[in-house]
């Protein structure tokens, strides 16, 4: 089986990590995988790939001036697909999906496209991409979203799609085991992880923690990640007098090791496609608090059974949930973390998710 797998880049984001996990798993079982980065420039691969995964950069095949690149990408990708003649094609992210569907039109290749955000909340999507998604997604063999909550949202933005299914992200194949005990005190860490952009709402998380700092003097907030808002968040931390209590160490090259040093995890996002950081924190055995944003936390936590699920955008409720977790005993936090880990490891294991992906190219039911 030869899969042509098209992504924007292989940087450090969640979509890239999922792409690497799937590509590696298919390569290990003996499939041929050609992974193509479609970003305009020649970037850097920050993900670990198996030797059996062939990594190509579409930029190496582009010719002509910059204004030609949108059409040049389509032509270069079409030439590559013709040369490789893969058994199946998979594309991640809306802009890559649109390019892929145009490039492969009429070649007789089964193409599956995957949205990596909740379609109802793609606030930064350009109007031309919204129009193209609506017109072109019905060409795909199947469209994949990450949560069941996103299925009706996709139907709203692309009503012509007939074959649609939800496939969650898998747990990464090299994820460490469940943590048996939490790190000893006397300092305790509340962790968050992600890019510093408005969607993650780290600025609001800092404000919420500031209201709890005096009541929980042994706790610190650590937010790993980088992005445009990090400098502004650092300035706000200093203005609040919390420089020693709220730490913004930057991008984490080893997020799982960093999460192992934490005592609890919080997801403060306004919207998620699928919250990988929450999934991995739960799988490592951390007690978690999550904003009930669209989409993912409701399904991951089983409606709050395996984490503190906070009503959407309710900062007072978020503060109270964090306070409950921080005031628990270490044994209570470990017990809650172990229950969460058992739940998500059973539901989001790589083998189960791979089986779902292998059905995505079938001429099966119209939707699931």
CA–CA gap between residue 221 and residue 205 (Å, rounded): 9
Which residues in 60-110 belong to E strands, given as ranges? Answer: 88-92
- Burial (CB count within 10 angstroms: exposed 0-12, middle 13-18, buried 19+), residue 147: buried
How does pLDDT run across 287-311, given as a tens digit for each residue?
A: 999 999 988 999 999 999 999 999 9
Average confidence (pLDDT) over 89-117:
96
Q: CATH fold of 188-347, please? A: Rossmann fold (3.40.50)
pLDDT (tens digit per residue) in 188-198: 999 999 999 99
Taking the CA atoms of residue 43, residue 46, residue 50 and residue 55 in that order, the dihedral angle to the nearest 10 degrees is -10
How many CB atoms lie under 10 A from the CB of residue 108?
Answer: 6
Q: Which pLDDT score is estimated for 123?
A: 62
Q: Which long-range contacts (CB under 8 A, 24 or more apart) does 67-72 make?
A: 69/40
> How many residues are recorded in the chain?
368
Average pLDDT of the chain is: 93
Task: Compute the distance between CA of residue 246 and CA of residue 121 in angstroms, rounded to an integer.
Answer: 29
Q: Residue 368 — very low, low, confident or very high, per pLDDT cuts 50/70/90?
A: low
Quick one: pLDDT at residue 366? Answer: 55
Q: What crossing angle do the helices spanning 230-239 and 202-212 adopt, rounded to 10°?
A: 20
Q: What does 103-159 look like in DSSP terms, one character per residue?
A: HHTTS---EEEE--S-GGG-TT--HHHHHHHHHHGGGSSEEEESSGGGHHHHHHH-T
The residue-averaged pLDDT of 9-15 equals: 80
DSSP 8-state class, residue 30 = T
CA dihedral 115, 15, 311, 226 (to 10 degrees): -140
Between 64 and 351, name the one with better pLDDT: 351
Residue 183 token pair: 């790190």
DSSP 8-state secondary structure symbol assigned to residue 176: -
pLDDT of res. 253: 86
In angstroms, the CA 340 to CA 327 distance is 19
Q: Which residue has the higher pLDDT, 108 or 173?
A: 108
CB contact set of 140 (below 8 Å; sequence gap of 6+): 97, 101, 111, 112, 113, 161, 163
C-alpha to C-alpha distance for 84 and 36, rounded to whole angstroms: 12
As a whole-number percent, the residues of the chain with pLDDT over 90 amount to: 81
**What are the strands, taking DSSP E only, across the chain?**
2-7, 32-37, 53-57, 88-92, 111-114, 142-145, 164-166, 188-193, 219-224, 246-250, 264-267, 288-291, 308-310
CATH no., domain 2-170+349-358 = 3.40.50.2000
Q: Taking residues 314-331, what's their average pLDDT?
A: 97
pLDDT digits (tens, 9 = 90+) for 138-150: 999 999 999 998 9
In this predicted structure, which of 57-66, 140-149, 310-319 has the lowest mean pLDDT?
A: 57-66
Question: How many Å apart are CA 341 and CA 322, to the nearest integer?
Answer: 19
pLDDT at 44: 82
The full set of domain ranges for the chain reads: 2-170+349-358, 188-347
- pLDDT computed for residue 365 by the predictor: 59
- Segment 267-285 shows an average pLDDT of 94
* Domain pair 2-170+349-358 / 188-347, same fold: yes
CA angle 331/334/335 to nearest 5° reads 85
């Amino acid at each position: 089986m030869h899969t042509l797998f098209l992504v924007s880049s292989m940087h450090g984001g969640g979509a890239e990590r999922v792409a690497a996990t799937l590509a590696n798993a298919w390569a290990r079982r003996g499939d041929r995988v050609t992974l193509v980065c479609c970003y305009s420039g020649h970037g850097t691969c920050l993900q670990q790939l198996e030797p059996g995964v062939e990594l190509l950069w579409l930029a190496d095949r582009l010719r002509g001036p910059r204004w030609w690149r949108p059409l040049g990408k389509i032509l270069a990708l079409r030439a590559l697909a013709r040369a490789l003649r893969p058994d199946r094609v998979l594309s991640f992210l809306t802009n890559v999906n649109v390019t892929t569907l145009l490039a492969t039109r009429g070649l007789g290749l089964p193409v599956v496209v995957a949205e990596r955000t909740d379609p109802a909340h793609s606030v930064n999507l350009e109007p031309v991409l919204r129009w193209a998604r609506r017109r072109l997604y019905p060409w795909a063999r199947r469209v994949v979203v990450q949560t069941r909550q996103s299925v009706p949202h996709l139907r709203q933005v692309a009503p012509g799609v007939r074959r649609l299914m939800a496939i969650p992200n898998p747990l990464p194949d090299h994820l460490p085991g469940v943590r048996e005990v939490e790190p000893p005190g006397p300092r305790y860490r509340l962790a968050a992880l992600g890019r510093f952009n408005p969607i993650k709402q780290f600025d609001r998380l800092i404000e919420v923690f500031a209201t709890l700092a005096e009541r929980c003097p042994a706790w610190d907030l650590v937010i790993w990640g980088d992005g445009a808002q990090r400098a502004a968040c650092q300035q706000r931390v200093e203005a609040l007098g919390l420089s020693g209590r709220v730490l913004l160490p930057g991008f984490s090259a080893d997020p799982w090791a960093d999460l192992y040093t934490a005592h609890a995890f919080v997801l403060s996002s306004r919207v998620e496609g699928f919250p990988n950081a929450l999934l991995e924190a739960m799988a490592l055995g951390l007690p978690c608090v999550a904003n009930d944003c669209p989409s993912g936390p409701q399904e991951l936590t089983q409606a709050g059974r395996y984490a503190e699920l906070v009503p959407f955008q309710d900062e007072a409720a978020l503060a109270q949930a964090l306070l409950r977790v921080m005031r628990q005993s270490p044994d209570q936090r470990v017990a809650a973390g172990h229950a969460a880990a058992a739940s998500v490891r059973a539901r989001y294991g790589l083998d189960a998710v791979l089986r779902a992906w292998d059905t995505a190219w079938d001429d099966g039911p119209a939707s699931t």
